[in-house]
Chains A and B, each alone.
Chain A
């Protein structure tokens, strides 16, 4: 099971397939025939396992909002590559190495700082270009090896993360 939605703090796996007469959702071992006809203004008609339900649906990015049985719900789609990459951190993600030789323009974090994946950790200059180095994962900075102005070689250890639990 690769696809998943976050619904009320739970990650729920689900797959979608197509059969001769329409779509199927696979939830655990169960397979249910489904169909969704969308109308104006988010109104939609869901058929599942032979039952019909009127729903209202809206999407924004990876969020799917559904009004069902008088209540509104939010599902957040979790792309398998994001979800699975985040599920486990290997040792390689504990260290941030220089992608090329260069010098430090700015360091934005200090040891002990909690950072989120994608956050800019430092800016380096190489080949007359500035490059930002971002956090490979969520975590806490353990060490910062260089200060502004210092130079380094390719593959030099720039920062390290505290090992994840």
Chain B
């Protein structure tokens, strides 16, 4: 727990005159609800924009005001910067919170918002620009002295390519510069074979792409995804709020995120968190942000990218630190300085977030749709559900299939996993298939239990995604419920005269 933790109450006491009295949330779903919660708790007015498809969403119901926006598609509406800024002006919003996705890392939007005299709850346009370009960000980080994956580009200086490639170190990956789709890629684990493999890769590149130029980078086997939450006030003060591990992914999307990472010991944790804080500090970062690393099995880690916005998985950090990251964002946007130092931030317990998706893991995680006939989120100690759906609503193919986030916190990892299993079991969504049963299978897997996962874990274990065959016991019970809930079947049974029904299947 943070020692000098900011709470809604301390902030209200410290900042009696808020520079803006209303905040427009330029987003939808669970994150719109999440942001509104803090905005409204502060006594500020919460406004949302929404497409007609979201007219009865929880965010719209919760907001103090809602402005309908239109678009060629529902998604297009949320990407229409001009319309959103017009809505903000019309509704008198003093600040815009972009959430995640949509316009949250769009420099032009950020600039347009500020040009309209509205505060952008996020980084500066320059920071978006810097971190939004992968090559630029990598070069910036490397130049600032932080670790990036070693690499060598043949085109930089063809004469020294082999020598530079050798310096990258084993294992390394040779890729055709013109390549794609994994064709012509070769992994080299023994540098003695480097030259021979380069020749082979070159001839393959020629064959596939008519271009033999190559590129070499350090190959991280079975990497983990570890990221660090940072907070900067844009006035020189930056802290980290510990790491999150997001190694369980499907189709390059995170499914489960947790903190602390089971892969780190205290020393490694300090190293990686300070690296992240250092990167943020070197650009005088403003806003909450996340520095992502690729983490090797031997403890080596390299900068991947920095997200200059609130992350989907921010709640796990909030759960173990007691911070309200949206509140921190609002304070920074209001021009406040961070009122605490790094040492003040402590963590306690273990928190895991599960993304509840409308999807069918057994069919390659394809999205599902349907009515939300029953929605009964799990409740209880250590359970937080950030949801963007309501009972009576409809899950459509218009938006991302993430319906809700279940955040489970326990005294340690085992405790959190045990609670998670109960919470996933008790979470009821009927009408649209979700991945909750899959998530239960996942957290029961020995590799997950021991914290031994990597980003390729689900691809390597496709059986977790497959629906296990129904037992006779389960099938019997489902058929019983189905039969008793189906009018034509019930009508047949009920229409039998009592005496004949009592005789049952008697034969003479």
- Specify which of A19, A30, A34 is in contact with B501 (CB 8 Å cutoff): A19
Q: Considering the chains assembled together, what is the distance between the CA atoms of A32 and B484 in angstroms?
A: 13
Q: Is the beta-carbon distance between A48 and B483 smaller than 8 angstroms?
A: no
Chain A 72-95 near chain B by CB (<8 Å), digits 1 or 0: 111101010000000000000000
Give Cα A77–Cα B494 distance, bound, in whole angstroms: 18
Give the distance in Å from the alpha carbon of A69 to the alpha carbon of B429 in the complex. Answer: 13
B376 to A56, Cβ gap below 8 A?
yes
In the assembly, what is the distance between CA of A23 and CA of B484, in Å? 8
**Contact assessment for B489 and A67 in the assembled complex, using a CB-CB cutoff below 8 Å:** no
Give the chain A neighbours of B437 by CB distance below 8 A: 70-72
Could you say which interface size class chain B belongs to? 35 or more
**A64-B374 contact, Cβ under 8 Å, with A56-B428, A58-B430:** no
Please, which residues of chain A bring their CB within 8 A of the CB of B374? 41-42, 56, 58, 65, 67
Contact B376 A59 (CB under 8 A): no
Q: Are the CB atoms of A68 and B474 closer together than 8 Å?
A: yes
Contacts of B478 in A (CB 8 A): 5, 7, 66, 68, 73, 75
**Interface-facing stretch out of A9-17, A96-104, A113-121, A151-159:** A9-17
- Asked if B488 is an interface residue, CB under 8 A from chain A, the answer is yes
Residue pair A48, B494 in contact (C-beta under 8 Å): no
Instruction: Tell me whether B496 and A18 are in contact (CB under 8 A).
Output: yes
Interface magnitude class on chain A: 35 or more
In the complex, are the beta carbons of B430 and A46 less than 8 A apart? Answer: no
Q: Which of B376-409 contact A (CB under 8 A)?
A: 376
B485 x A57 contact (CB < 8 A): yes
- Asked if A53 lies at the interface with its beta carbon under 8 angstroms from chain B, I say yes
A17-B501, A17-B504, A60-B373 in contact; A67/B493 too (CB < 8 A)?
Answer: no
B477 and A68 within 8 A (CB): yes
**C-alpha spacing A47/B474, complex, angstroms:** 13
**Secondary structure at chain B's binding surface: helix, strand, loop or mixed?**
helix
A31 to chain B, nearest CB (A): 8
Q: Assuming A42-B374, A72-B430, is B482 touching A32 (CB within 8 A)?
A: no
- Judged by a CB distance under 8 angstroms, whether B221 is at the interface is no
The CA of A116 and the CA of B440, in the complex, are separated in Å by 38
- Confirm or deny: B371 has a beta carbon within 8 angstroms of a beta carbon on chain A: yes
**Distance, CA A68 to CA B482, complexed state (A):** 12
A3 within 8 A of B: yes
Residue of B478, B483, B493 ringed by the most chain A CB atoms within 10 A: B483
B490 CB-CB contact with A under 8 Å: yes
- Within B462-500, the residues touching A (CB, 8 Å) are 467, 470, 474-486, 488-490, 492-494, 496
The answer to whether A42 and B501 touch (CB under 8 A), given A16-B493, A53-B477, is no
A76, closest chain B residue (CB): B482
Q: A65-B431, A72-B429 are in contact. Are A16 and B440 (CB under 8 A)?
A: no
With A18-B494, A41-B374 known to touch, is A60 a contact of B431 (CB < 8 Å)? yes
Asked if A32 and B476 make an inter-chain contact with CB atoms under 8 angstroms apart, the answer reads: yes
B433 within 8 A of A: yes
Q: Is the CB of A27 within 8 A of B477?
A: no
Taking the nearest CB of chain A, how far is it from the CB of B290, in angstroms?
32
A106 contacts which chain B residues (CB < 8 A)?
none
User: Are A42 and B479 closer than 8 Å at their CB atoms?
Assistant: no
CB closest chain-A residue, reference B424: A70
The one of B431, B477, B479, B502 that contacts A5, using a Cβ cutoff of 8 Å? B479
Contacts of A53 in B (CB 8 A): 477
| B436 in contact (CB, < 8 A) | yes
B489:A55 contact, CB within 8 angstroms? no
Question: Does B61 make an interface contact (CB < 8 A)?
Answer: no
Q: How far is the CA of A127 from the CA of B434 in the complex (A)?
A: 52
* Docked complex Cα distance between A16 and B374 (Å): 26
Residues of A close to B459: CB separation below 8 A: none
In-complex Cβ contact of B480 among A32, A42, A60, A70 (8 A): A32
A41 to chain B, nearest CB (A): 7
Chain A residues contacting B429 (CB-CB under 8 Å) are 72
Instruction: List residues of chain A with CB within 8 A of the CB of B376.
Output: 41-42, 56
Set of chain A residues within 8 Å of B504, measured between Cβ atoms = 17, 19, 24
Give Cα distance in the complex from A3 to B425, angstroms. 30
A123 at the interface (CB under 8 A from B): no
Encode B346-373 as 1/0 by CB contact (under 8 A) with A. 0000000000000000000000000101
A72: B residues at CB distance < 8 A: 428-430, 433-434, 436-437
* Besides A25-B480, A62-B486, A75-B481, 8 other A-B contacts (C-beta < 8 A): A5-B479, A16-B483, A25-B483, A36-B481, A53-B477, A68-B477, A70-B437, A74-B433
Q: List 25 A-B contacts (CB under 8 A).
A: A3-B488, A15-B489, A16-B484, A16-B493, A17-B504, A18-B496, A19-B504, A20-B501, A23-B483, A24-B504, A25-B476, A25-B480, A27-B476, A30-B476, A32-B480, A36-B485, A41-B376, A48-B477, A56-B428, A57-B430, A60-B373, A66-B482, A70-B425, A71-B440, A72-B429
Which A positions have Cβ atoms within 8 angstroms of B? 3, 5, 7-8, 12, 14-20, 23-25, 27, 30-32, 34-36, 41-42, 44, 46, 48-49, 53, 55-60, 62, 64-75, 77, 79
